[in-house]
Amino acid sequence: MPEAVLRIGEKEVSLPLMTGSVGETAVDISSLRDETGAVTLDDGFANTAETASDLTFVDGEAGVLIHRGYTIEDLASEASFLEVAHLLLFGALPTKGELESFVGSIQEHLHVDSAIRNVFSAVPQDAHPMQVLGSAVAALGGHYADDLDPNDPESVERNSYRLIAKLPILIAWAHRAREGQEIVDPIPGADYVANFLEMMFGDGGHIDEQEQIAAKALDSLLLLHADHGQNCSTSAVRLVGSSGANLYGAITGGIFALSGPLHGGANQEVLEMLASISEDGGDVDKYINRAKDKDDPFRLMGFGHRVYKNFDPRANVIRTTAEEVLNRLGVDDPLLDVAVQLQKRALEDDYFVERKLFPNVDFFSGIIYRALGFPVDMFTTLFALGRLPGWLSQFKEMKTDSSNRIFRPRQIYTGEPKRAWLPMEER
């Protein structure tokens, strides 16, 4: 068995090495504290694998992303969002019959109890859509109190179908409630993404040609966001689920982790950044210099990644899709030009090159969402919709993993050593 040898003072311990299916190596430190009394310290878990997983492999140096062996480029050009959802959840691309059955299982759950709509009237108009979506998903879980056992694989599968079916409805309801519009019911049997667009922007009658073009683009975007290893929000889903909490609680945790501007919230930040650069005369050099200035809190949103030290392959696909969609919809968005210029300048600048800062999945996605008519502050709800199959698959994998233990990291205490009580009169 290959091993690593660690010496701490006079003590030397051997730690087993684990090799993944594509050659990655991990040092198994499960026995470290028992054998040495020491723990590891790893800021942001940048060097720590929290689990082994069969779902997704990201090679940050090479800019490679695969789901169960299939490259994101092949999936983006050949598969649909629900095909990728099936791949992640069940380990294989579905046959035609399996896909029909999978879609059918989702469509069985297109009803959402109207009581959930009280969530949208319980918050002020300016509540952020991610805040509202997380509240709605948490409330949704309350409607299945008799079917929430996270250790029952059939219940987890049923609730996975429920969430895939209802999340787009909740997003659309939140939007229409804020706009003061009547809700539109999903059209039974209609395409998943086209139905979502109809519920968002339509009148519930039929799905027109423009909506079909938009649906194809959005389907591809959702697919590109489906899973990405142990990112912040997925780790949140696993951590919450590891205590035995139910699936709705875990997904709610994922939604709020994703809402942060350093994670899924970046797609909204990018659009706002591009708009302010455009309003400021389009001087990209000024903003490149601001991003490099350590005294300036400004960051180039949509750039940089904890894992990718090369192009994020999703960003490449999304940029191509953005150009295609804007052409097909006849939309001329000056912010795309600003984004292209910004990318070009950054990739020529030593600061970004030395730190291997490349565009990530969030850099171009907002251009498409905006062209499809989504309000900027709803962009991250679309990231959540795309990431849902990944969260569900990671939760399922965690629950079926025999070594599934509650997440409980250690720490190094740096506070006051034990000291005597200090009476009030002596303080």
Give me the residues that bind ligand SDX (CB under 6 A), please. 44, 228, 231, 262-263, 266, 291, 299-307, 355, 357, 360-362
At closest approach, how far in Å is the CB of 405 from ligand SDX?
23
The active-site residue, picked from 219, 227, 312, 362, is 362
Q: Are 35 and 14 in contact (CB under 8 A)?
A: no
Provide the minimum distance between the beta carbon of 104 and ligand SDX in the complex, in angstroms, as a whole number: 29
For residues 270 and 360, what is the distance between their CA atoms, to the nearest angstrom?
11
Nearer to ligand SDX among residue 81 and residue 303 (C-beta)? 303
Residue 305 among the catalytic residues: yes
d(CA 248, CA 405): 19
- In this complex, which beta carbon is closest to ligand SDX, that of residue 84 or of residue 172? 84
CB nearer to ligand SDX: give 119 or 315.
315
3-class SS letters over the chain: CCEEEEEECCEEEEEEEEECCCCCEEECCCCHHHHHCCCCCCHHHCCCCCCCCCCEEEECCCCEEEECCEEHHHHHHHCCHHHHHHHHHHCCCCCHHHHHHHHHHHHCCCCCCHHHHHHHHCCCCCCCHHHHHHHHHHHHHHHHCCCCCCCCHHHHHHHHHHHHHHHHHHHHHHHHHHHCCCCCCCCCCCCHHHHHHHHHHCCCCCCCHHHHHHHHHHHHHHHHCCCCCCCHHHHHHHHHHHCCCCHHHHHHHHHHHHCCCCCCCHHHHHHHHHHHHHHCCCCHHHHHHHHHCCCCCCCCCCECCCCCCCCCHHHHHHHHHHHHHHHHHCCCCHHHHHHHHHHHHHHCCHHHHHCCCCECCHHHHHHHHHHCCCCHHHHHHHHHHHHHHHHHHHHHHHHHCCCCCCCCCCCCCCCCCCCCCCCHHHC
Q: How far is the CB of 263 from ligand SDX (least distance, A)?
A: 4
Whichever of 44 and 97 has its CB closer to ligand SDX, that residue is 44
Q: Which is nearer to ligand SDX, 184 or 301 (CB)?
A: 301
- Rounded CA gap, 251 and 395, in Å? 9
- 67 flagged as catalytic: no
Catalytic residue among 175, 305, 312, 333: 305
Closer CB to ligand SDX, residue 63 or residue 302?
302
**Shortest gap between Cβ of 396 and ligand SDX (angstroms)?**
18
- Judged on CB neighbours under 10 Å (0-12, 13-18, 19+), 98 is middle
Residue nearest to ligand SDX (CB): 304
Residue closer to ligand SDX by CB (options 294, 427) is: 294
CB of 135 to ligand SDX, least distance (A): 22
Tell me how far, at minimum, the Cβ of 378 lies from ligand SDX, in Å.
17
| Beta carbon of residue 114, minimum distance to ligand SDX (angstroms, whole number) | 33
Catalytic residues: 305, 362
